[in-house]
Structure 1
Amino acid sequence: MNEENRHIAHGQDLPGFHSLLGYRQVSWEENEAVIELELRPAHRNLGGVIHGGVLTSLLDIAMAQAGTYCPFPGRMRKAVTLSLTTTFTGQCSEGVIRVTGRKRAGGRRIFNSTGEVHDDKGNLLAIGEGTFRIRSGSDKPEGVPI
């Protein structure tokens, strides 16, 4: 992960909804991104376990990142989600969850990624699959200025 992406991912510079979720970037490289979230009461549903919307949002972020890595400091690549499927396979209410996104296939503008969410005991909580479109200007490795 380059220094600028590290700064954005670990500082208060996460934009809007990303800041609300409160995740941290563990790693980000070509074709793979890993993020973690320490669960807080705000992440739980009425049943006291992590809300499916939180899991889906984190999968969306990690899977999009898997196809938009930018090695150039001060620059980034952007994508929009075209489709996203989430399958929930487990529950947890505390601890740290880890989300891994991997780019599986794609062309110059459209790519597919898969993702998994595990709790800190290694239990699988959710899996996802998504299709993303690279935004204009982000199709080259150097992306756009942040």
Structure 2
Amino acid sequence: MNTDDAGAFPLDNPALESMGVRITAWRTDHVELELLLLPTMRNRSGVVHGGTICALLDAATGYAGLFSPPGEEPLHAVTLSLTSNFLSNGTGTRLSATGTVEKKGRSIYFSRAEVWLDGETLVATGVATMKYLAQSNGKPRGN
């Protein structure tokens, strides 16, 4: 499933929803996110706060491995490790992130993400190790 209608992809995550993060594309092993920047998302220097960028890296690396087709049980995971690399900063209006799964096991997956400012400046990259939570039947996600 891949669509331009961001409403088709519920986040089901109050923290990300309160920030205004939207899923703009989502399919197996891939996600694209967008965040319109608010004044409260800047640091003392007026550039995008590193915590905002890290939250988007975490979301992109996590959601990349959580797609499930409509009608199937939603997948959930927790972050075991997140490494962020800040490459640039800026004062733009929009962050976009792309997350991709690199490798999956039965209960662990490895993913990477990029965060761009206004679609022009690569501001950060990240790699993560994520752990699937058990499904309602008590079994790990599996492949």
- TM-score, scaled relative to structure 1: 0.84
Residue in 2 that maps onto 1:139: 141
Out of 65-74 and 23-32, give the one that drifted further: 65-74
Check whether the contact 1:32–1:103 (CA below 8 A) recurs between aligned residues: yes
Residue in 2 that maps onto 1:70: 68
- Give distance in 2, aligned partners of 1:69 and 1:121: 24
Residue in 1 that maps onto 2:83: 85
**Which consecutive unaligned segments of at least 5 residues does structure 1 have?**
142-146
Q: CA deviation at 1:16?
A: 2.3
Residue in 2 that maps onto 1:59: 57
Check whether the contact 2:86–2:125 (CA below 8 A) recurs between aligned residues: yes
Check whether the contact 1:44–1:50 (CA below 8 A) recurs between aligned residues: yes
Verify: 1:128 aligned to 2:126, yes or no: yes
Q: CA deviation at 1:20?
A: 2.0
Query: Any residues of structure 2 matched to 1:7-26 within 5 Å, and which?
Result: 8-9=10-11, 14-26=12-24
Residue in 2 that maps onto 1:144: none
Q: Percent identity?
A: 32
Residue in 2 that maps onto 1:108: 106
- TM-score, scaled relative to structure 2: 0.86
Q: Per the alignment, in what secondary structure is the counterpart of residue 99 of structure 1?
A: strand
Out of 113-122 and 132-141, give the one that drifted further: 132-141
RMSD: 2.2
Distance 1:70 1:54, change over 3 A: same
Q: Which amino acid aligns with 1:72?
A: P
Q: CA deviation at 1:74?
A: 6.7
Q: How many residues align?
A: 137
Distance 1:74 1:130, change over 3 A: same
Q: CA deviation at 1:7?
A: 5.1
**Which consecutive unaligned segments of at least 5 residues does structure 2 have?**
none
Q: Per the alignment, in what secondary structure is the counterpart of residue 16 of structure 2?
A: helix
Q: Which amino acid aligns with 1:139?
A: R
Q: CA deviation at 1:42?
A: 1.2
Deviations 1:110-146 (A, max 9, x none): 01000001112421100000000000116058xxxxx
Which protein, 1 or 2, shows the higher relative CO under an 8 Å CA cutoff with sep ≥ 6? Answer: 1
Q: Which amino acid aligns with 1:39?
A: L
